[in-house]
Structure 1
Amino acid sequence: MVYEMGMCSLQSSITRNKVMAGGEENNDGGKNNFHVLVVDDNTVVRMVHRMLMTSLGLKVQEAKNGKEAVDLHINGAYFDLILMDMEMPIMNGPTATRELRAMGVKSNIVGVTSCTSESAHKDFIEAGLNHCVSKPLTIAMISSFLPESNNK
């Protein structure tokens, strides 16, 4: 994975990607009410995804596995966007996605995986994803999942 870089490089990369995506450094464009749930068992991946989201002015909450994501929704949490890892302990991404959809969750769920197998992506999408992308995420990828009003 490309996530193994120093924090200075990462921050520089975020700033560079933000400029490339048309974002401005201190203008959240009203995105601060857009809530994202990052679901991944890897602490570094969650940290990187959080930094990418907050650099766009989005509010972020994290879950370490699919069960935590499902439990958050059972307890009344709502998210506009859920970034769901595929392979996690306790409850994997496809199972969590199926459970969330069965509960009536309408959030945009994006599968984020390091798996490159087309059949694995297909199975994950069939679980109820809106999109499935390969790691690492970029600002441009994230921006493509935001509604037009949040994508300025």
Structure 2
Amino acid sequence: MTNNKYKILIADDDNISVILLTKYLKNIPTEFFIARDGVEAIKIFEDNPDIDIILMDLKMPKLNGLEATKKIKSLNPNVKIIAETAFAMVDDEKKALDAGCDAYITKPINAEKLIKIIEEMQNI
């Protein structure tokens, strides 16, 4: 965290998810970055390597969240990434964690659960 403000990248191609996530986190001093696909998420992270947390949708166009996570973790293994998905399959959580995600949450996202995960990661 820099300047008492968290930098959070939301990598999600669904507008409603982006709106909800920013609303859920409105009480945390945050600077948001928005990526609509995995390629854009990597580019934003390369341009802003001090991002604290990434909320990574697993199903996105151009490059999925698992591949984007692997690339971002190769750039900085310490950045915290929370996988999110609306299409939860039995092995999705394992795949996300194996790709380098630090936590996993399913949509519809529960705001309290998300904030708890972030607090555990960052000690807000």
- When normalised by structure 1's length, the TM-score is 0.71
Match of 2:104 among 132, 135, 139: 132
Q: Which SS does the other structure have where 2:109 is aligned?
A: coil
1:32 Cα shift?
5.1
Specify the alignment match of 1:79 in structure 2: 51
One-letter amino acid of the structure 2 residue matched with residue 47 of structure 1: I
Q: Which has the higher strand share?
A: 2
- Identical positions, percent: 22
Partner of 2:10: 38
Q: Is 1:89–2:61 an aligned residue pair? A: yes
The structural deviation recorded for 1:78 is 2.3
Map of 1:14 onto structure 2? none
List 4+ stretches of structure 1 deviating above 3 A.
Answer: none
Alignment partners' CA distance in 1, 2:53 and 2:86: 19
The whole-number CA distance in structure 2 between the counterparts of 1:72 and 1:57 is: 20
CA contact (8 A) 2:38 2:65 kept: yes
Deviations 1:2-35 (A, max 9, x none): xxxxxxxxxxxxxxxxxxxxxxxxxxxxx95111
* CA displacement at 1:115 relative to structure 2: 1.9
**Structure 2 counterparts to residues 8-87 of structure 1, below 5 A:** 33-87=5-59
Local SS of the residue matching 1:54: coil
User: What amino acid is aligned across from residue 93 of structure 2 in structure 1?
Assistant: H
Structure 1 residue 120: Cα displacement: 2.0
Work out the number of aligned pairs and report it: 119
**Higher mean C-alpha displacement, 125-134 vs 46-55:** 46-55
* Whole-angstrom CA distance in 2 between matches of 1:132 and 1:103: 21
Provide structure 2 residue ranges, at least 5 long, that are not aligned to the other structure.
none
Greater Rg, structure 1 or structure 2?
1
For the 8 Å contact 1:53–1:59, the answer to whether it is kept is no
Single out whichever of 53-62 and 67-76 deviates more from structure 2.
53-62
